[in-house]
Amino acid sequence: MEQRPVTTLFMLMSVDGKISTGQSDNLDVDSDFPKIDGVKEGLYQYYDIERTTDLWSMNSGRVQAKLGVNDKALPDKSPVSFVIVDSTHLTERGIRYFCALSKTFVLVTTNSHHPAYNVDESNMHIIFQKELNLKDALIRLKKDLGCNRITIQTGGTLNGCFLREKLFDYIDIVVAPILIGGKNTATLIDGNSLTSTKELDKLGVLRLESCKVLENSYIRLSYKVIS
């Protein structure tokens, strides 16, 4: 771990572990939870906690495209440095959005023709990989850019890659009081399932560090990954 930043998975999920409200990209907890009575009242707590997380944040281009960054007006600068893993979802406008928002913006991509190559911004760095290698990307973030701690907020598939590659150090989850269901709805950890007992060492074993009952039936669970 000394070669890479300390990582914390920070996510909002339903009681049954869903991080989206359905299978369609038109459905998303950020846009849908504020519309649901019994859920919207306590949602602010997740965003309040999010503002206290690390000053480096890793997201996926797919999730950010769902949130509309390719069409949003350019934002004001924030103190947060953003790392986005993306090959096909962000447009040149989306890249400029993150350059405007970020203290330092890093794109991790396997696409040698990504629209980011058309953008010339002093705070942008591109980590190109022929095949996605999250461990190598994290090592480069620490070695080249001084990233010592980073919050992971990617989708279920990338979260699954972090899990299988033993790249999570802490898990910090806010649980909303709702059940969503649906076998094709994204969960906290997706990706390939294990197929044999020989792979059990790829599981993440956790130690509970704190459990806080929040307002409006929300819960915050914080774990340390021990293996």
Q: Rounded mean pLDDT of 137-146?
A: 98
Per-residue pLDDT band for 2 (boundaries 50, 70, 90) equals confident
Give the per-residue pLDDT at 121: 98
Question: Is 39 a domain residue?
Answer: yes
Question: Is 174 a domain residue?
Answer: yes
pTM for this entry: 0.96
Give the per-residue pLDDT at 119: 98
Give the per-residue pLDDT at 25: 84
pLDDT tens digits along 18-45: 999 999 888 999 999 999 999 999 999 9
Question: Is 64 a domain residue?
Answer: yes
Cβ–Cβ under 8 Å, residues 110 and 88: no
Question: Is 109 a domain residue?
Answer: yes
Tell me the C-alpha to C-alpha distance, in Å, between residue 194 and each of 154, 200, 202, 203, 205.
21, 8, 8, 9, 15
Q: Rounded mean pLDDT of 203-224?
A: 98
Question: Is 162 a domain residue?
Answer: yes
Per-residue pLDDT band for 50 (boundaries 50, 70, 90) equals very high
CATH of the domain at 162: 3.40.430.10
Q: Rounded mean pLDDT of 203-213?
A: 98
User: Pairing mode, if any, of strands 170-175 and 149-152?
Assistant: unpaired
Question: Is 1 a domain residue?
Answer: no
Q: Rounded mean pLDDT of 48-61?
A: 98
Handedness of CA 173, 179, 182, 185 (dihedral sign): negative
| Residues spanned by the domain of 175 | 6-225
Q: Rounded mean pLDDT of 106-130?
A: 98
Give the per-residue pLDDT at 75: 97
* C-alpha–C-alpha distance, residues 12 and 208, integer Å: 17
Question: Is 91 a domain residue?
Answer: yes
Question: Is 177 a domain residue?
Answer: yes
**Number of domains the chain contains:** 1
Give the per-residue pLDDT at 1: 58
The mean predicted confidence, pLDDT, of the chain is 97
